[in-house]
Structure 1
């Protein structure tokens, strides 16, 4: 698909230089950049959903497990 976008001159020049340095077309550079941006934000969306899901869950360690860990750590040479 073709599209037109407006970019500040300095951003365009930097993108052109990067595309040349990487040996890729301008279109390939922009497609890669958008794909990476979308992947980053998709991952953040998943993290946000997990955070919301576990927001009401206690992260406290069961006292019995805490005591067992303490006993085990006391027997371990550090």
Structure 2
């Protein structure tokens, strides 16, 4: 898909140099950069959601108290801090 974007001149110039140094096209560089950005932020959303479920604050945890107790027992040898 073709798209048009606006970026600052210094970012464009740095991207041009990077693409050339890496032996890739401008399109490939931008596609790779956007994919990495999206992947990184997807991971953060997953981590945030897991923290909501398994958070350190027992009152804020979405886990049932009994289920949480069972999970902690299965981690008996691991550091829980």
Stretches of structure 2 that go unaligned for 5 or more consecutive residues are 66-71, 77-81
Structure number with higher relative contact order (C-alpha < 8 Å, ≥ 6 residues apart): 1
Matched residues in 2 for 1:42 and 1:7: separation?
23
Residue 12 of structure 2 is aligned to residue 7 of structure 1: no
TM-score (norm 2): 0.69
Matches within 5 A, 1:27-46: 27-46=27-46
TM-aligned CA deviation for residue 23 of structure 1: 0.4
List structure 1 runs of 4+ shifted beyond 4 angstroms.
none
TM-score (norm 1): 0.71
Task: Give 2:52's aligned residue.
Answer: 52
TM-aligned CA deviation for residue 15 of structure 1: 0.1
Supply the RMSD in Å over aligned alpha carbons: 2.2
State the SS of the aligned residue for 2:38. Answer: helix
Where is the helix percentage greater, Structure 1 or Structure 2?
Answer: 1
TM-aligned CA deviation for residue 47 of structure 1: 0.2
